[in-house]
Structure 1
Amino acid sequence: MMTLDDYDKKLLRLMQDDSDRTVQDYADAIGLSATPTARRMKRLSDAGVIRKQVSLLDPDALGLKTTLFVFIRTSRHDGDWLDAFSKGVKRMPEVVEFYRMGGDVDYLLKIMLPEISDYDAVYKRLIAIAPLSDVSASFAMEALKNTTELPL
């Protein structure tokens, strides 16, 4: 794990909020000149702290009004099953997050769709990937917090 100083943390907070600023904008905001700020950005990127920079899209503007959380249980836990299941789920564009869990649920998927009625087709594709013991879903009524910003 990389040790971050106060300048690094300020820079990363700003970049998480808006990565479309210039190096000079960041430098002014953290109290350094552009050259050391650019070096910090490169060092943080080379170290893997900054994984990549992306544009965040508005789901509502794209008609993705429905967020579902799908809870999956399986009786299979061998490597071949996991490989097939993982590859199949990763090919599904509606699945925006995919986790292997500890506890009562084996896998958790976050799915975004235009309408709740679209889930049936996704469900049918999901259960065709690999044998599953139980699949249940809950839909989000309202996002109370939804951020990509990590705590620093």
Structure 2
Amino acid sequence: MLNSRDLAILDVLQRDSDTPLADVGAKVHLSPSACSRRIAHLREAGYIRRNVAVIDRAKVGLPTTVFVTVSVRTHSAAWTEQFRQAVAGIPEIMEVYRLTGNIDYLLRIVLPSVDDYDRVYKALVSRIEMNVVCASIVMETVKSAESLPLHHAAAS
């Protein structure tokens, strides 16, 4: 169970995992050694899965985002596994969500340009049968957050 200090540590680290241990400790009112032990425990318990660098997509030539909705006719286990393999094999597909309602799946695709979407679309439809595929091109990102709203997490 997480306590308020654990949540505070997670909040600091999710905003900048490179924050020096002494600074994390100071922000949560712990000594660096006590803070280090808590961070190790949070890793072991699976609260911290991994550390990553957030890369500026535009600077590396991947400024375009396309959201794709997919509706399917079948929901068999075999089709679902084939779909999972199909999307896993296309690196431009960053996220895939299974949804309730009229849309079965939502895909977030990151690309160099809109023109590149056709290549990804063709790769996807050649691997799996889908009923309806609709694409929406992102014109502007209004909000994008990597940090979770930890104030909703229960502290003991």
TM over 0.5: yes
Amino acid paired to 1:151: P
Mapped pair 1:79 → 2:77: yes
SS in 1 for 2:127: coil
- Which residues of structure 2 form unaligned runs of 5+? 151-156
Amino acid paired to 1:37: C
Cα distance in 1 for residues equivalent to 2:31 and 2:113: 49
Partner of 2:11: 13
| Misfit runs of 4+, over 6 Å | none
Give how far 1:89 is off: 0.2
Partner of 1:56: 54
Given the two structures, how large is their TM-score scaled by the length of structure 2?
0.93
Determine which structure has greater relative contact order: mean sequence separation of CA pairs < 8 Å that are 6+ residues apart, divided by chain length. 2
The superposition leaves residues 14-62 of structure 1 with CA deviations (integer Å, 9 ceiling, x where unpaired) of 1011001222221112110011111111111111111111111110111
Cα distance in 2 for residues equivalent to 1:128 and 1:81: 14
SS in 2 for 1:141: coil
Cα distance in 2 for residues equivalent to 1:34 and 1:86: 43
The superposition leaves residues 67-113 of structure 1 with CA deviations (integer Å, 9 ceiling, x where unpaired) of 01000001011111110110110111101111111111111100011
Partner of 2:148: 150
The superposition leaves residues 102-150 of structure 1 with CA deviations (integer Å, 9 ceiling, x where unpaired) of 1111111000111101110110001111110010010111111111111
- Which residues of structure 1 form unaligned runs of 5+? none
Give how far 1:65 is off: 1.4
Amino acid paired to 1:63: G
Q: Give the total of aligned pairs.
A: 150
Amino acid paired to 1:10: A
The Cα RMSD (Å) is 0.9
SS in 2 for 1:128: helix
Identity of aligned residues (%): 39
Partner of 1:136: 134
Cα distance in 2 for residues equivalent to 1:136 and 1:36: 51
Cα distance in 2 for residues equivalent to 1:111 and 1:73: 17
Matches within 5 A, 1:1-150: 3-150=1-148
